[in-house]
Amino acid sequence: MKEILFYLPAVGSYDQMKKGFAGVNDKNYQNMLFQITKQAQLADDLGYWGVAFTEHHFHIEGFEESNNPILLDLYIAMQTQRIKVGQMANVLPFQNPIRLAEDLAMLDQMTRGRSFVGIARGYQKRWADVLGQTYHVGATSSDKSERDVANRKRFNEHWEIMKALWSERTTSLKTENWQVPPPGIDFNHEAVNNFGGGQDDQGVITEVGIAPKPYQKPWPQVFQPFSFSEESFRFCAREGIVPIVMNTNDEVISRLLDVYQEEAEAAGRGALKRGEGVGIFRDVLVSRDADEAHYWARRGNGFIFPNWFGPMGFAEVMRNPGETGQIGADYDTLCERGFEFVGTPDDINRRIEKLVSQHDPEYLLQWQYPGPVPHDVQMRSIELWASEIAPNWL
C-alpha cells in the first residue's frame, strides 16, 4: 500500500480548541506549520508516499484550517525531497476551473512532478454557499435533490474544462456555464500569431491555452475523497481517478470495489486487480502503549468527529446494510465500527492484514491531528508505522 498522511490541518491543542476561536490565534497557526513541516520531513525520510491537505474556509474554530491546500503543498514540498504533495481535495464547483488548472500545473512544475490532485464536490454550507454564490451553486449531501444535481453538473463541467486546458496546447470549448474564450475578444496582437496561436486573421481570439502545462503528462494522478455512492465510483473508474473510501462496512466496501472494477473494464482500462486504483481512509495513531494511543486519539478525532463531522452526516459511513436508526459519532462507535486504526503496531498490523485480505487497497489515507494530538506523539506514530507496520505490506 501507498501511505498518504492527511491533515485537515487542525490548529490548536485540545484544551485551546475547547476554549473557542483556536483558529484565529497566530501562535497556534505557527505551531501547526512547524509541526506539519517536521512530520512531513520525517515521513519523507521514512518513505511515505504522500502528504495531503483539505480545502475548507472560515474555520475560526481551528478544526480544518486549510483555506488553500495548494499553498500548503508548496510549503511542504519546498522543505522535503521525495514525498508527494496533494490535495484531498480542491472543491471544484466553487472554484474558477481555469485558475485552478493553472495553479495545479504550476505546483506540479515547481515540485518537478511530486504533486497529485484531489477533486471534490463540497458539503459544508457555511463556506460553500458563500463562495459558491458566484457560480449559483451550493453545498451538497449527495441526496439526488435539485441542489445536488446542480452541484454535480458544475463539478463535471469544471473537471472537463481542467482536463482540456491541461492536455491541449490551445483549446476552445463551450459548456452550460462557460465559454472559453468568450466571443469577440479583439486582441489583434501580431506576437500571438508569430510566437503562439489561437488568434484568427482578424485578430480575434478563438482559442486559449494555459502555461505551464503540468510536469506530469497529461496531468498528475487524481483522487476523489470521500466517495460513498456507486455513481461516484463509476465516474472515478471511467476517468482513471482514485476514489477514497470512508465506509467501514466490508460488504459495502466490497460492492463499491466491484463497481469500480466493472466500470474500469467497461471503460477500456483493462482488468484491474482487486483494490487497484482505490484508497481507504482511516484515523491512524500508533503507540507502544495501546491505552496511550486511545487516550490521544480521543482528544483528536474522538473530539473533532462527534463535534464537527458527525452532525454533518459523516456517521452514515459506518452504517451497516439494513441498519436503521441513528448512528453514533462518538469515539467508541468509531472504534467499534473499524474506523480507528489506533493502538500498538501489533494491533494495527492485524487490522491491516484483514483490510488487505478483503480489499487490498492501493492507497491508505491516514488522518493526522497536529494540535490536539501532541507533536511528539504524532512523530512517534509516524516512525512506528514506517518501521513496524509498513514493511509488512510493501
The per-residue b/e assignment along 250-267, b for 16 or more CB within 10 angstroms, e otherwise, is eebbeebbebbbebbeee
Give the Cα separation of 18 and 190 in Å (integer): 62
Please answer whether residues 76 and 40 qualify as being in contact, where contact means their C-beta atoms are separated by less than 8 angstroms.
Answer: yes
> If you search the block for the grid coordinates 463509476, which residue do you land on?
234
For the full predicted model, state whether its pTM sits above 0.95.
yes
Q: Which option is the CATH number for 1-46+221-393: 3.40.50.2300, 3.20.20.30, 3.90.1010.10, 3.60.9.10?
A: 3.20.20.30
In a 10 Å sphere around its CB, with 0-12 CB exposed, 13-18 middle and 19+ buried, how is residue 273 labelled? exposed
Handedness of CA 99, 102, 105, 106 (dihedral sign): negative
Three-state secondary structure call for residue 228: coil
The closest of 312, 315, 361, 374 to 339, measured between CA atoms, is 315
Q: How far is CA 109 from the centre of its chain?
A: 20
Domain locations in the chain as residue ranges: 1-46+221-393
Predicted confidence pLDDT, tens digits, the chain (394 residues): 999 999 999 999 999 999 999 999 999 999 999 999 999 999 999 999 999 999 999 999 999 999 999 999 999 999 999 999 999 999 999 999 999 999 999 999 999 999 999 999 999 999 999 999 989 999 998 888 999 999 999 999 999 999 999 999 999 999 999 999 999 999 999 999 999 999 999 999 999 999 999 999 999 999 999 988 999 999 999 999 999 999 999 999 999 999 999 999 999 999 999 999 999 999 999 999 999 999 999 999 999 999 999 999 999 999 999 999 999 999 999 999 999 999 999 999 999 999 999 999 999 999 999 999 999 999 999 999 999 999 998 7
